[in-house]
Amino acid sequence: MTRMRTIMAMLADSVTGKLQRGTHSEKSKKLSRSEQVKRCNVFSAIALLLCVMLSGCAGKFEGIATVVVDDHHWKEGQLDNACFELMPTGNSPVLQPGVDFWLKHGDQVAIKWDTFEFHWEHNEVMCSFENNTSTSDCSICDYCQNPVGQNGPPCFGFELRNIGSPFHIVAMHEGFIFNPNPNIALAIDSQQIPDGCPNSPNRVAFSPEMSATYQIIFPKTDYSTDPTPFDVQAETKIHVIKTGISRTAAYQLMPETVDGTDFWTWRVTGDNRWLENFSPNLRVTGIRILKGKCESDPSLGRECVAPDNDKYVKPSRVFFLPNFRGTVSNHVSESTHVCHENPNAVDGYYIRLTDLNTQTSDDCRTRNDVNPPIIDKSVTPTYEVSPENPLDKLTWLIEFNINEGADADLMMPGNQTMSPNAELIIEFIIEAF
């Protein structure tokens, strides 16, 4: 569970927003130090305004960040299980949630949470709110459940519209590098907050304009020990791919013996929430296998980047099997989920799956012969596009059979056998469809 520090920060942010009203990503702006100071200067005015807005307000404000209604005071806010989710497009199936995302430019990402809570504490009681249960002394107003204008506990008549707008909710760190003053990628009307709740028929969504780290945020007021003007509720890396511009995604392969044959395998990790997920508007168009170990590059937002050494090798074929259960020969999709090497490939891209412009001899070769059937395969690194079971992960298995053209060392004459303990990387070409 993550918690915002004080409601006064939210109100200060909203008042500042009314003075310098902005919109969504089209008018992204920096959260500057001068703006932070401006927020602090409006606290006194906000306290007086809030007393008028709260029904039944008969109390006082203890300091600049305490709101008292009758015998209760506002203690904190809490957002449970905030996350980003990739929005389906067109007739695409429901998409598996992911930690990070790869999108086509123009795709939308939704933000959501399980609860949006304000915690009210009796003046003579100290509440932990750890069990998330509301009592007469420790009131939890969950705006995903409680009536918005409910008087008395647990909500004390406080309506979300009283926060004001715009409400800054998504920050963007360009270049995947943390910036204490990031751009605001999304600001919403405060009355849209329940749209992030699980049972809402509406969604709060935005279209990321560039590759960056995105965060669901809440404003805060204490800059004394931490200059960041907000608390982070959720974080994701989003890679945005524009039409006509290809990108690469690389992953370390693991040696594995399957059905008595040496393979090198990879599939996305995570179950309920995959490590990464890809838009159905993206395609893997080509694959390259390289020798070496992954290198991390924070500026690219990637944990695995292939070394810049061009030590690519030639596989004999690549399987991409949905719902892999440890066997290739007995897999129901073995014959239709395989591409063989193209002997005429350049720059190490011996495996082609599709060509987004025209059908060419570089597309998926379904057999290892002179004139094999050639087809297009619509897949992302994580799943097959438009499959029967859209949440089935793909497992990628790379084979090096020298009798079918494989070569572990292209600098040596003849076809060289791949060592069963070789460290290999799979590099996908990703393009927008």
Q: What is the pLDDT of residues 177-197, one digit of tens each?
A: 998 889 999 999 988 989 999
Residue 390 banded pLDDT, cuts 50, 70, 90: confident
Looking at residue 39, its pLDDT comes to 32
Looking at residue 382, its pLDDT comes to 95
Q: Where are the domains of the chain?
A: 2-241, 247-432
Please tell me the distance from the alpha carbon of residue 370 to that of residue 353, in angstroms, as a whole number: 18
pLDDT over 80 (residue 128): yes
Q: What is the pLDDT of residues 227-253, one digit of tens each?
A: 677 889 999 999 999 999 999 999 999
Residue 102 CB contacts under 8 Å (≥ 6 apart), including other chains? 238, 239, 241, 247, 249, 276, 277, 278, 279, 282, 380, 430
pTM, to two decimals: 0.81
Residue 273 CB contacts under 8 Å (≥ 6 apart), including other chains? 83, 96, 97, 98, 99
Residue 405 CB contacts under 8 Å (≥ 6 apart), including other chains? 314, 316, 340, 341, 343, 368, 415
Please tell me the distance from the alpha carbon of residue 293 to that of residue 250, in angstroms, as a whole number: 10
pLDDT over 90 (residue 432): yes
Looking at residue 147, its pLDDT comes to 65
Query: How confident is the prediction for the chain on average, in pLDDT?
Result: 80
Q: What is the pLDDT of residues 198-215, one digit of tens each?
A: 989 999 999 999 999 999
